[in-house]
C-alpha cells in the first residue's frame, strides 16, 4: 500500500516540474529615444521652379503624397511676392489651403506644414 500513497505525491512532482521548464518571456523592447521618434527621412518628389526659376528639390514627409507636395510648392512660389521674398525675416508665412509655407532669411530650404503635422520641404539645388 505504500506505493499507492506515494502515487499522488509523485504525480504532483511530475506536474510541477514542468512549470519551471518554460523559457523566460522575452524582455520588452527598450522605449524609443527622442531621436527615433523624429520625422522619417521623407520621399523625394522631383523638382519645382522657385523664385526666378531656381530649381527646388521637393521632399514629402509623413502622409503627404508627392502630387500634393509638388502642387503646394508650385502654388507657394507662384503666390510669393517679391516683397515677401526680400523680407529680412525670410519669405512667408504664406498660406496655401491647409498648408503654411515659409523659410528663414537666406535659408535654402522652404518648409510647408499643416496642423495635422504633414510636412513638405523644398531645397534649392
CA pair distance 94, 77, nearest whole angstrom: 10
Instruction: Give percent of the chain with pLDDT exceeding 90.
Output: 46
**3-state class of 21 per DSSP?**
helix
For residue 61, the cross-strand partners are: 119
Does the pTM of the predicted model rise above 0.85?
no
Q: Is the pLDDT of residue 29 over 90?
A: no
How much is the mean pLDDT over the chain? 77
* The three grid cell numbers given for residue 105, joined into one nine-digit string: 532669411
> What is the distance between the alpha carbons of residues 103 and 109, in angstroms, rounded to a whole number?
6
Check if the beta carbon of residue 112 is closer than 8 Å to that of residue 73: yes
**Residue 6: pLDDT above 90?**
no
List the chain domain ranges.
43-124
Q: Is 123 helix (H, G, I), strand (E, B) or coil?
A: strand
Amino acid at each position: 500500500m505504500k506505493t499507492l500513497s506515494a502515487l499522488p505525491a509523485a504525480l504532483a512532482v511530475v506536474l510541477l516540474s514542468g512549470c519551471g521548464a518554460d523559457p523566460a518571456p522575452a524582455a520588452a523592447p527598450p522605449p524609443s529615444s527622442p531621436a527615433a521618434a523624429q520625422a522619417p527621412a521623407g520621399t523625394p518628389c522631383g523638382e519645382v521652379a522657385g523664385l526666378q526659376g531656381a530649381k527646388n528639390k521637393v521632399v514629402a514627409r509623413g502622409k503627404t503624397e508627392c502630387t500634393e507636395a509638388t502642387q503646394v510648392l508650385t502654388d507657394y512660389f507662384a503666390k510669393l511676392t517679391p516683397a515677401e521674398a526680400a523680407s529680412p525675416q525670410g519669405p512667408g508665412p504664406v498660406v496655401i489651403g491647409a498648408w503654411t509655407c515659409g523659410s528663414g532669411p537666406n535659408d535654402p530650404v522652404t518648409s510647408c506644414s499643416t496642423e495635422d503635422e504633414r510636412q513638405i520641404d523644398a531645397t534649392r539645388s
